Amino acid sequence: MLTNLFVSLMANFQALVFFMLAIITVIAALRVITSRDPVHAALFLVLIFFSTAGIWMLMEAEFLALTLVLVYVGAVMVLFLFVVMMLDINLERLREGFWRWFPFGAALAVVMVVEMVWVLGNEQTAKTGEHVAKHAANYSNTKELGRLIYTDYVYAFELAAVILLVAIVAAIALAFRRRGGTKRQDSEKQVAVKRADRIRLVSVSPEKRGE
């Protein structure tokens, strides 16, 4: 009896894992927008990324799943947390004007919902889950993805890369300013210092010269 249950469970193991991850994702997503502390919200976002990576893993998209963890969890969210933790956020001020902006936010939400219904309700895209073909064990997701990116979609890919580069340059150009009057050390100069730059050897005779 117990073993039967177990066997049937194992058969639907993938479905079980999927639903567990999906539930975690949804709950964490709700907590991102409801939790009072921005640090908690950011941590819940990390949890979302993690469980999403798990779901992608189930769809045999291991390259994307691991890259999601590597890039978003490992780097982007770290910097995000970095900033959020250092900010002294006044919750009262954040709440101000909630109702004033509410119609705008609601409209955005409606647009997003409509878009999702449109995409998911479409005949072609609806069966995404079933479309995933089972591949042989030596099938390399990464290789396939690389081939596609650098052949069929090379223009789109390069364009995205250029846009990102422009964004980086713009962000740095906006934030880069050198305030006058600050004292800073220049490691390069410090490292380049030689003994002769700092020490002057003077030969002093041990006794006073006779007057």
Tell me the C-alpha to C-alpha distance, in Å, between residue 169 and each of 42, 128, 132, 164, 172.
26, 37, 39, 9, 5
Separation of alpha carbons 78 and 197, rounded Å? 42
Query: Residue 46 interacts with other proteins (CB under 8 A)?
Result: yes
Residues 141, 129: Cα–Cα separation, whole Å: 17
Residue 192 lies near other proteins (rule: CB under 8 A): yes
CA separation, residue 48 to residues 24, 25, 71, 179, 180 (Å): 7, 5, 14, 40, 43
| Total of residues contacting other proteins (CB under 8 A) | 31
Give the nearer residue to other proteins in terms of CB position, either 185 or 205.
185
Q: Which stretch binds other proteins (CB under 8 A): 27-35, 39-47, 93-101, 148-156?
A: 39-47
- Tokens read off for 13: 């193991």
- Binding residue (CB under 8 A) for other proteins from 1, 33, 36, 79: 79
Phi-psi region of 138 (alpha: psi -120 to 50; beta: other; left: phi over 0): alpha
Q: Does 136 bind other proteins (CB under 8 A)?
A: no
Out of 124, 151, 185, 203, which residue is the one contacting other proteins (CB under 8 A)? 185
The verdict on 85 binding other proteins (CB under 8 A) reads yes
Q: Which is nearer to other proteins, 124 or 187 (CB)?
A: 187
83 contacts 156 by C-beta, under 8 angstroms: no
Q: Are 139 and 133 in contact (CB under 8 A)?
A: no
Q: Is residue 14 within the footprint of other proteins (CB under 8 A)?
A: no
| Least distance to other proteins, CB of residue 195, Å | 13
Q: Determine the Cα–Cα distance for residues 60 and 142; give it in Å rounded to an integer.
A: 11
Residue in 86, 136, 172, 193 binding other proteins, rule: CB under 8 A: 86
Residues near other proteins (CB under 8 A) are 3, 6-7, 10, 39, 43, 46, 62-63, 66-67, 69-70, 73-75, 78-79, 81-82, 85-86, 138, 140-142, 185, 187-188, 191-192
